[in-house]
Structure 1
Amino acid sequence: MWKKFNFFRSFLLSREQERKIRFAPTKITINDSVLDIRKAEPKDIAALVVLEKSLYQGQTPWTMSIFQTELTKVNALYIVVAHSNILLAVIGIRFNRSEAHVTILMVDSAWQKLGLGTYLMNLAIDIAKNKKCKELSLEVRADNLAAQNLYQKLGFVVTFIWPNYYQDSHQNGLNMVLKLTDD
């Protein structure tokens, strides 16, 4: 009985591993700095929370447990950017059948306006296209004009408004979508 269990357990685990989204680490250069682009790991969670606090005036919309849950989802991919082992940025993408959704995009304020956010968004678009997704969606705060401009330059359009979407500030959220196919 135990042999059968172990056989099926290894089969199920290998199937789960097959479903996990693969991402090969790479490097890019921005301002003469070589940055490591890799899949996020549980060891990154504390640094992700620190990055989040720096961007959200000490607040943490995503707790450590939320990051932990997200990083273990088989239908999600979280990519971090690091320089000398310091986390500078993260993007999260969740996949659901023929659609992809950007769950989070954070870039350290010292590294903003250098093309890192654009790079990560283009990476998400390429990954979604390779996975044959028909669209890529995201939510953005109604008052975050810089992010909205980035998304619009990439072809995203506002499809609807979520009233009071952000619980901490009661800000409206704009749902933005980029069509990846002509369907």
Structure 2
Amino acid sequence: MSSKTKKVNFQIKSWDENTDRSLILSIYNAHRKHILSEAYVEQKKDIFLMLGDKVKYSRDFLLAENEKGEIVGVAGLTNFLGNVKSTRLIYGILPEYFNSTLPQQLLKAAIALGKKLKLSTLVLDTKGSNSAPFDNALEHMGYHPIQYLLEMHLTDFIQTTPVDLPLDVSILQKSGEPDNYHLYVDLINKSFIGSFEFLPAKAESSKKIFQIRKNQFDIEVFYVKNQQQPIGVSVFFVDAQKKIGTIYSVGILPEYRHRGIGTKLLEATIQTAKNQGCKTIQLDVHVDNEKALNLYQKLGFQSNENMKSTFYKVI
């Protein structure tokens, strides 16, 4: 234990059904604000709805208390509505306890809970340089990264060399959630199958996610059509207050790639975000996806190494 490590005795216990969820949410938001800084967007109470109907808090969540009996941390196991292959470990502690024994203690307890529940796979991620205490704790426990996502920011959009869309290909824009979720998930599933942690989406789950998101963000959906046949989709969310646009997905069916269609779809998404007043646009990309990285850099995105997401498989 270093001289800077805060010496506090913590108690990790199961979720109490009388727990004030607004308190838990405030801890989660304080954690996120500390690690995300200017990219932070406050999570609303609806975030609990995104955890899915299968979550049982008394079984799947842990609370951390300090010596005064105050709740200062939370960890939970969830499949995020079934949109990833593995169960995910989500967590948050108050920033003043980052340099204490709590990160390691809470992660150990959550992993032990996952093993007790006989989970086949449990994955968690850290975000940015301020998450170093959690990375250090995981390294100390013998866990190593399995994947990285690099966050990229765009402030100055660079239009690429004009390339016309192929004949009969058009891009259509819709504000708000998708009209046809079965069409949307079909495009997403066919475009992203085989990607890291991707599990085919379901219409009902996607609808629930969008309905929660629309309470917090403005949503724009773009469809690419070839002779009226949908061949691609892009989605971005805009936080109305901070004017930070987040590109949620850009997908083109495999048989229509390498024709400049994906680039045009991304450009249309970016331009609309800029027209709506977004000062910054952000997205995540796998660090080993050289083609995507080159395209994003060509359009003006700059990588933020300090905001790299690091994934760990702990079960």
- Report TM bin, short chain: 0.5 to 0.7
Matches within 5 A, 1:168-179: none
Q: After TM superposition, where is structure 1 displaced by more than 4 Å over at least 4 residues in a row? A: none
- Give the structure 1 partner of residue 310 of structure 2: 163
Deviation at 1:147, TM superposition (A): 1.4
Residue 200 of structure 2 corresponds to residue 68 of structure 1: no
Label 1:152 to 1:140 Cα distance change in 2 as closer, same or farther (>3 A): same
Deviation at 1:102, TM superposition (A): 0.2
1:11-64 per-residue CA deviation (whole Å, 9 max, x = no partner) reads xxxxxxxxxxxxxxxxxx633224252327322x22332233323149535432
Matches within 5 A, 1:1-183: 30-39=165-174, 41-43=178-180, 45-55=181-191, 56-57=193-194, 60=199, 62-69=201-208, 71-72=210-211, 73=214, 75-96=218-239, 97=241, 98-159=243-304, 160-164=307-311
Report the more deviating stretch, 58-67 or 133-142: 58-67
CA RMSD of aligned residues (A): 2.7
TM-score, normalized by length of structure 2? 0.39
Letter in 2 for 1:54: K
Label 1:143 to 1:61 Cα distance change in 2 as closer, same or farther (>3 A): farther
Report the more deviating stretch, 119-128 or 61-70: 61-70
Label 1:161 to 1:62 Cα distance change in 2 as closer, same or farther (>3 A): farther
Deviation at 1:125, TM superposition (A): 1.9
What is the alpha-carbon distance in structure 1 between the residues aligned to residue 185 and residue 244 of structure 2? 27
Higher normalized strand content (fraction of residues): 1
Structure scoring higher RCO (CA < 8 A, sep ≥ 6) equals: 2
Deviation at 1:82, TM superposition (A): 1.7
Task: Give secondary structure in 1 for the equivalent of 2:250.
Answer: strand
TM-score, normalized by length of structure 1? 0.64
Where structure 2 has 5 or more consecutive residues not aligned to the other structure, the ranges are 1-163
Letter in 2 for 1:85: Q
What is the alpha-carbon distance in structure 1 between the residues aligned to residue 169 and residue 264 of structure 2? 14
Count of residue pairs brought into register by the alignment: 138
Deviation at 1:108, TM superposition (A): 1.0
Task: Give secondary structure in 1 for the equivalent of 2:187.
Answer: helix
Where structure 1 has 5 or more consecutive residues not aligned to the other structure, the ranges are 1-28, 171-183
Letter in 2 for 1:124: T
